[in-house]
Structure 1
Amino acid sequence: MFTEDEYRLDFFIEEGFHHKKCEKCGKFFWTRDGSRKTCGDPPCDPYTFIGSPIFKRQHSLDEMREHYLGFFEARGHTRIKRYPVAARWRDDIYLTIASIADFQPFVTSGQVPPPANPLTISQPCIRLDDLDSVGRSGRHLTTFEMMAHHVFNTPDREIYWKDRTVRLCDELLVGLGMDPLAVTYKENPWAGGGNAGPSVEVMVGGLELATLVFMDLVAAPAGAVEIKGERYEKMKNYIVDTGYGLERFVWASNGAPTIYDAIFPDLVRQVADLAGVEHNLDDPEYAEIFAQNARLAGMVDLDEYSMSDLRAKIAGSIGIDPGRLEKAILPMERVYAVVDHTRCLAYMLGDGIIPSNVKGGYLSRLVIRRTLRLMKELGLRLPLADLVQLQISRLDYPDWEESFATIRDILDQEEQKYAETLEKGMRLVRKTAESYLKKNEPVPLSEMIALYDTHGIPPEIAREAAVQMGAQVELPDNFYSLVAKKHIRAEPEEEKKPPIPGKTELLFYENPFEQEFEAEVLDVVEGAAILDRTLLYPEGGGQPADHGTLEKDGQLFQVTDVQKSGDVVLHKLAEPGCLAKGDRVKGKVDMLRRLAHARHHTATHLVHDSAKRVLGKHIWQAGAQKSEDRARLDISHFKRITDAELKAIELEANRRVMELVPVDTQFLPRTEAEKLFGFELYQGGVPPGKLIRVVRVGSDIEACAGTHVTNTGMIGMIKILRAERVQDGVERVEFAAGEAAVRASQARDDLLAGAAGILRVPNEQLPRTAERFFEEWKEQQKEIERLKEDLAAARLKTLVSEAETIDGLRVIVQKMGNADIDELLKAAALLAEEDCVALLGSKTGKLVAAVGQSGLSKGVKAGSIIKAAAKVLGGGGGGRPQLAQGGGPDTERLEEALAAGKEAIRAGA
């Protein structure tokens, strides 16, 4: 681990700090108070700031944020704007979980320079690991702002390191009015996001206000340093990574019973009033209940305590009945959670995360549905969108106000889906509970998670329905946290093969429509030629590889695939033949294929941009694929795209084509590109490296490595073929461009002409004629159904008249041709109304039995008849005493089956 020298700073020595070992947890810490024996971190020390603020005056969120940023600006740090809570620049996480996440992996690895150095930021973060504790603990939040100052030191330039970092922190705290003896700096190694380093946790009044990390390690399987089970080695760069909790600073300045009452007291009051919950913190006894709850919750790990145990502990500590405590605190816990969750949703939806069943959309839907459940329990009948709007009105983000109509639409849709889920889900819950009742086992947690994950059924509702049936349910208090943890990180990509050494010069960017080139063969690996330069595009970014040929001394080699591995390009050959390292070859690109791909790729950018113009700024690319004859674009959207919207997108895209806009491509340093264009660059994914290729097609600007036309006019026509929902929250738009679009339009014209020809009318009369034929067909179908019913009634009348009498019952056993199950059920039911016992069979192997009143009174059961008959057919069946159905595969034995059923009737009667 780390030695004492890692933490023995000049600042601590100069200020007279004592280095001590906590007598409770055994961790080391630094303090000015020579008599202190504990580290200041719960459970070693309780909260002492509640009712006794740490700082000399109370601050609001805005005031504290400005004080912090101004403090560091005055000390040489550049203030930068926040990053989105949707971590678009990352492919490993969906949400921004810390300020350092803004700079991982490219800045922290040294590939890319930081946007400023040193810098200060107040970064909104979302963490759902403790979702179930929000509202209950008095301190947990889903959304918080991590105020930070970061320094990116290199071997060539050190700006400042540990000593100044701690000195600045202490100066900030003392300047806010903290008692210098109250702070402890607790040593605790940190690791996260592939980096690690020594760190100190800044504790005041039992509350962790900040963490100061000295990041100088990078994950390495054979590293010499082990932290939390992972191995690390020293990295060249060394980074000051600090995190100061804005909300905790405000709470510390306020001393309120809970963090929620400190950071948004007006909204807590408003939601409590709407729910009819009395919340009077001026009542000392009432306020002490919440204060003691927060103090005790701060002393325990809520993952290890059930809420009932915690309630009992709190009730005992303040000397009241647990039932009274529950009555006082439960409604407000829900209020606190609703206020917190709606702020979380404001950030998620404001930054463009569309609810769905995957990725970040899954997490936003998780928060939405938990909020709706809490609102129902509180009796809040207003739309969820109204509460989110209250949050947005408090946050200074004008673009969110502009897009609120879309946010409201999204939330209204989600409320509707939630209601539909509850209605449909109960049958599934009851079926699940019944299966575990039969096994005399409780419904396990895995089943509850599956019911939520797959079908969206909230665990509380599933538990209620299961318990009503008499089933036991395994449902921990941290259910939502467990579910969130499963979805917070992206699935890791499959391990790639080690890159092949060498480098291929990529000629196709500078010369996208040059067809021929000369190159040297660097190597031939597994039937693929590696060249020192190439015009052939390797597969990537949803664009297929080029095809072409390589020629050596008159011998032609067909290139059937092109792939990139590291810095080299592999040209897969149909027959490698005698091609060898050092050979000179002439390459040729299949330009028809290249041009078709380029048209479709540039058209994809235009269709995406047009979708944003028509559907809204929330549109985000969820995937794309191009081919020679069509392309598809998957976009995040909260409802189905209408035909009118699809036509508007198509028209808008073709307008962009006709503007004859040049397609601009350039390589830019990543940091510069992000400053200029923001994170919408990463619509198609996050490319690696210091330099990224930026493609600008009109107002669409993306990081893109594909081939493009040089002017939108080269695309030609864009024809949208169809749209479909590929998963909840993701719409797929298929389209064709250029010659492919013309061919697609011609194919549709052929369909139209063919249909008109069949009906022998001109094309323009086809809709009216088709409608007339359809109406006539419907009338004919009605007449056919009426005649069939008349015929069936006559046939049944004949069957009744020819019924066999068995022990006083009229019995009908009859083959019914190829009748389907619906016909058999209808006929049997009508015969039962005539007080007959009927067994009807079909050549399809289907059987139906029905028993009239006289048969029922004698104990004849339709299920017994069916079981006897179906057994002969090698099948089974069952049902109610008055009506049952079944069948089997051995249809050749239908006569025997009916005879067996008849014997069952005789035996039953």
Structure 2
Amino acid sequence: MTGKEIREKFLKFFEERGHRILPSASLIPANDPSILWTAAGMVPFKPYFTGTAKPDVLRVTTCQKCLRTPDIESVGHTARHHTFFEMLGNFSFGDYFKEKAIPWAWEFTTRVLGLPADKLWITIYLDDDEAHDIWHRVVGVPRERIVRMGKDTNYWEIGVGPCGPCSEIYIDLGEERGCGSPDCAVGCDCDRYLEIWNLVFIQFFRDEAGNYTPLASKGIDTGMGLERVASVLQGVASNFDTDLFREIMDFTAVLTGTEYGADSKTDLALKVIADHCRAVTFAVSDGALPSNEGRGYVLRRLLRRAVRFGRLLGMNGPFLHRVAGAIIEQMAEAYPELPANREHILNVIRGEEERFGETLAQGTEMLNRLINEARAAGRTEIAGAEAFRLYDTYGFPLELTKEIAGEDGLTVDEEGFTAAMEEQRERARSARQETEYLSEAGVLYKSVREQFGETAFAGYDALETESRVLALIKDGRKVDRAAAGEEVEFVLDVTPCYAESGGQTADHGRLSAPELAVEIYDVQRPVEGLFLHRGKVVNGILKVNDHVLVQVDTGRRRDTARNHSATHLLHKALKEVLGGHVNQAGSLVGPDHLRFDFTHYASLTRDDLRRVEQVVNEAVLAALPVSTTITTPDEAKTLGAAALFGEKYGERVRLVRMGDFSLELCGGTHVRNTAEIGLCKLINESSVGSGLRRVEAVTGTGALRYIRAKEEQLEEIGQLVKATPAEVVHRVADLVKELRELEHETENLQARVARYEVQNLLGQSRDLDGAKFLAARATAPDMDSLRAMVDLLRDRLGSAVILLGSPVGERVNLVAAVTRDLVPRGLHAGKLIKEVAAIVGGGGGGRPDMAQAGGKDPSRLQEALERAYEVAAGQLRG
């Protein structure tokens, strides 16, 4: 079976058994900051297993995109390690349990996939007699092929929260795949027994003290690796030999002029490129962008590692975007978001490849400096830690560092390099935190919701409500009261206060009763349906069951609503002006300003910004009515509503319409008519990552404050240049003209001084085997001026070697030149300056006829100049 056929058969099998097929969730976990990537099929369903959210259906099946990065360096060296992979799974949220999950797993494995029953082995948790009896008595697996294993392999738990025993299906691939040990059995690290499916039985809750309590509502979470199953069904020894990878590797082989199977180094490179490019393609499609931190750093590291292996195959220019194109074509049917985002994916990958080329140039400069420092110190080896820094910071492969260092007669401390890499891995392992199903605080908030029910939100229609205090929480514990001066969290039965979500900041407000006042400064939703208010008791005592009046800060709410509605108009305007590829990538909406992130490949021109601002304000002035309706996701999609990609939407969604101009899914608060926005003024545009731009703007009172501040600046400038605001531009233009004339005069004076200095330097030249040699200190403000002096000297001296050094502050600039007639005699300006620059603590290089360098120690300039004659003479001697 092909990978596509396995995927389809799995989903169809469970659909026929009452499961809803859901599309894969984004690789970027929605509303889960505890993890960088979706690394398992259950990740999108964590809230259902913990009970913090209610599922629309109790049976689900998916083929989930997954990305894991703990063992990046192992990819390509083993048959099974990948960064990106697909996980087939079926899930039950309090519906069926072991009695159905186990027989279905056996039926699919043996009847649908056709795997031989006598080759299958089962593992269960040590004391899971229930699973044992189902496998043996119901399914018919012989007792001798059911293996009881310990907690480290067959019990699933991560910190506090739901957990339970596991049962795994293994297939015996034959003695020839084994390690040869007489003790080889299920669980051995060799390739004979391959785990293909893991069934997790979520039946307990583990608390902070380590106590296990049976869950009233039990769950099923299974995971079957598509790549592994494909390798078994296609009869190949490695996942990379399945159709899921071979199509990509064969494409890359043609692209690079190589052949898969020709030699181990080429095979390794092709495997790494295929794996990493799959990961990068899917991650970019889901909204990730290369950067220097978080998931962006992971993405950049994968992309650059793939590029480095491409260079080993002779690919010195951008090529990964072409491999990504092949991946999109292969996976388009299963993942329609790939062709939909094709242009964005290819542009991001190509742009990052081109930037990496520039980074490699910087790494070369650093390596040259390391070589100079080593030679100046009399060392013959580049330190391993420095070689690793080149690898980690600039993406320099160890092989490239060794090659360049070898040209200068140096070696690289490979053991030190390996030790430095292991230290980094250890730091990464120490820093990596396991994701918890539910934190201790989450358990508390969930219990509050279970006790009192969900909070009723009245804030769309009302800015004040009469409410009852259901619970008070202080320092992670329930309390009965909070006195004046204390900060406390509290839950109400009904609230008008908007909780922070969807990029919109939380409402502020006031809670009051006779002799009681509480300032509300934050509102959150720690579990679905529960509004948690945070405030400070200003006066009186706040108690559980108090009846209170809750009032939203109306000024802050209105300012925030103006900004939020403006983001909808801005989104549509950006699409109209820049193109349909523009998609929202995040936003922040507060009372003072708005921030809108979107996909686009270049900075916006002044004309672009003016047109976007014009389109937005035309919609504001059109006084478009703003309305909201509740509908289904499918109906909203049919209507053409924009949605924030990666967000999880329930069975009912809120649709915000602004006339015929904008239609978006949104749960935020808005104006009733676009005219209430008043004015939208764009104040900044910037880059926040590869292929990602950010626009900031102000509206209403914020726009008024911005304009007033600009007017005050204009008045201050007018006072400085002694002109009225109307005359400021002409006055500044005149001043700029005067300044340029003065600069021109200064340049002329500097040129005359340089000519005088050149005249004095001519007399300092000496003979060098029939040629003239000049190494001298000069006075030049910058490198350009120093080069100009060298050019003058070269014209005047004729056949010559020239080296000038000029101290500038705490640094020194060096320029060397060799007339072309002397180059065939072995003289080389680049090599000359490289050796001399090391004396002043610097590095550089260049062509045989012209080179430049910089140094950090001007005090040793004379020593460097004196050394230059010896170096040049040595070049002549060969």
TM-score, normalisation: structure 2: 0.67
Q: Distance in 2 between matches of 1:517 and 1:270?
A: 67
Aligned CA distance change for structure 1 residues 441 and 733 (closer, same or farther; 3 Å): farther
Query: 1:633-782 counterparts in 2 under 5 A?
Result: 633-635=596-598, 639-658=602-621, 660-663=623-626, 680-681=643-644, 696=656, 698=658, 699=662, 701=664, 704=667, 707-726=669-688, 731-745=693-707, 748=710, 774=736, 777-782=739-744
Once residues 697 and 456 of structure 1 are traced to their aligned partners in structure 2, the CA distance between those partners, rounded to angstroms, is 48
| Partner of residue 861, structure 2 | 879
The residue that corresponds to 1:52 in the other structure is none
Q: Counterpart of 2:349?
A: 411
Secondary structure of the 1:124 match is strand
Select 1:427's aligned residue among 344, 348, 365. 365
SS at match of 2:62: strand
SS of 1:735's equivalent in the other structure is: strand
Q: Map of 1:827-842 to 2, 5 A cutoff? A: none
Cα separation, partners in 2 of 1:448 and 1:635, compared to 1, 3 Å:
farther
2:133 maps to: none
Given residue 64 of structure 2, which amino acid in structure 1 is its aligned partner? Q
Work out whether 1:150 is the aligned partner of 2:109. Answer: no
Instruction: Go from structure 1 to structure 2 and tell me whether the alpha carbon gap of 1:599 and 1:487 turns closer, same or farther (over 3 Å shift).
Output: farther
Equivalence for 2:241: 261
**Residues 586-644 of structure 1: CA deviation (Å, up to 9, x unaligned):** 7776544442233123323443454466365564445525243x333345655434434
1-structure distance, mates of 2:272, 2:548 = 68
Q: 1:422 offset after TM fit, Å? A: 0.3
2:483 maps to amino acid: V
2:39 is matched with: 97
Instruction: Summarize the Cα distance change of 1:691–1:430 in structure 2 as closer, same or farther, 3 Å threshold.
Output: farther
* Paired amino acid for 1:191: W
Equivalent runs, 1:144-543 vs 2, <5 Å:
144-153=85-94, 159-175=95-111, 176-187=113-124, 188-191=153-156, 195-205=162-172, 206-224=193-211, 233-264=213-244, 265-279=246-260, 328-380=263-315, 383-395=319-331, 396=333, 397-429=335-367, 431=369, 457=396, 461=400, 469-473=410-414, 474-476=416-418, 509-511=459-461, 523-527=482-486
Which amino acid letter does the alignment assign opposite residue 672 of structure 2?
T
CA distance in 1, matches of 2:520, 2:16: 61
Q: In structure 1, what is the equivalent of residue 768 of structure 2? A: none
Q: Which amino acid aligns with 1:83?
A: A
Paired AA for residue 379 in structure 1? G
Amino acid at match of 1:212: L
Letter in 2 for 1:92: S
Moved more, 128-137 or 743-752: 743-752
Shift of 1:378: 1.3
Q: Counterparts of 1:703 and 1:463 in 2: how far apart (Å)?
A: 55
Q: Kindly indicate whether the alpha-carbon contact (under 8 Å) linking 2:599 and 2:692 is maintained by their aligned counterparts in 1.
A: yes
Cα distance change, pair 679–129 in 1 and its aligned pair in 2 (3 A): farther
* CA distance 1:200–1:529, change in 2 (3 Å): closer
The answer (yes or no) to whether the contact 1:445–1:475 under 8 Å persists in 2 is: yes
Secondary structure of 1:355's aligned partner? coil
Q: Distance in 2 between matches of 1:77 and 1:540?
A: 30
The structure whose Rg is larger is 1
* 1:66-92 residue CA offsets vs partner (Å, 9 max, x unmatched): 222222233333322222233234322
> How far 1:152 moved relative to its partner?
1.8
Number of aligned residues: 730
DSSP 3-state at the match of 1:120: strand
The CA deviation at 1:110 is 2.2
CA distance in structure 2 between the partners assigned to 1:78 and 1:518 by the alignment: 39
Q: CA deviation at 1:412?
A: 1.8
CA distance in 1, matches of 2:14, 2:242: 24
Q: 1-side partners of 2:814 and 2:674: how far apart?
A: 69
Q: CA RMSD in A?
A: 5.8
- Encode CA deviations 1:828-875: one digit per residue, 9 max, x unaligned: 9999999xxx99999x9999999xxxxxxxxxxx99x999xxxxxxx9
Deviation of the 1:560 alpha carbon: 8.9
Which runs of 5 or more residues in structure 2 are unaligned? 125-152, 173-192, 473-480, 764-776, 798-803, 816-835, 842-856, 867-878
Letter in 1 for 2:99: D
Confirm or deny: 8 A CA contact 1:512 1:708 kept in the other structure. Answer: no
Preserved contact between residue 115 and residue 671 of structure 1 (Cα < 8 Å): no
Q: How much has 1:537 moved relative to structure 2?
A: 6.3
Could you say if the C-alpha distance between residues 191 and 666 of structure 1 is closer, same or farther in structure 2, counting changes exceeding 3 Å?
A: farther
Q: 1:126 to 1:377 in 2, by over 3 A?
A: same
Aligned in 2, Cα 1:465/1:747: closer, same or farther, shift over 3 Å? Answer: same
Is the Cα–Cα contact under 8 Å of residues 513 and 548 in structure 2 kept in the other structure?
A: yes
TM-superposed deviation, 1:182? 0.9
8 Å contact from structure 1 (residues 123, 146) kept in 2: yes
- Decide whether aligned partners of structure 1 residues 663 and 236 sit closer, same or farther in structure 2, where only a CA change above 3 A counts: farther
| Structure 1 counterpart of 2:208, one-letter code | P
SS in 2 for 1:215: strand
**Shift of residue 214 of structure 1?**
1.1
Greater CA drift, 183-192 or 519-528: 519-528
Residue type of the alignment partner of 2:746: I
Contact 2:387 2:412 (C-alpha < 8 Å) held by counterparts: no
Aligned to 1:72: 14
**Counterpart-to-counterpart distance in 2, 1:121 and 1:680:** 21
Query: Structure 2 CA distance, aligned partners of 1:565 and 1:398?
Result: 32
| Contact 1:665 1:696 (C-alpha < 8 Å) held by counterparts | yes
- Is the alpha carbon distance of 1:221 and 1:753 closer, same or farther for their aligned partners in structure 2, counting shifts above 3 Å? closer
Partner of 2:138: none
Return the offset for 1:244. Answer: 1.7
Q: Secondary structure at the match of 1:339?
A: helix
Q: Go from structure 1 to structure 2 and tell me whether the alpha carbon gap of 1:488 and 1:587 turns closer, same or farther (over 3 Å shift).
A: closer
SS of the residue aligned with 2:292? coil
**Given the superposition, is the C-alpha separation of residues 459 and 508 from structure 1 closer, same or farther in structure 2, using an over 3 Å criterion?**
farther
What is the deviation of 1:246? 1.9
Q: Secondary structure at the match of 1:98?
A: coil
How much identity, in percent, do the aligned residues show?
Answer: 25
Q: Distance in 1 between matches of 2:309 and 2:814?
A: 50
Q: 1:766 to 1:113 in 2, by over 3 A?
A: same
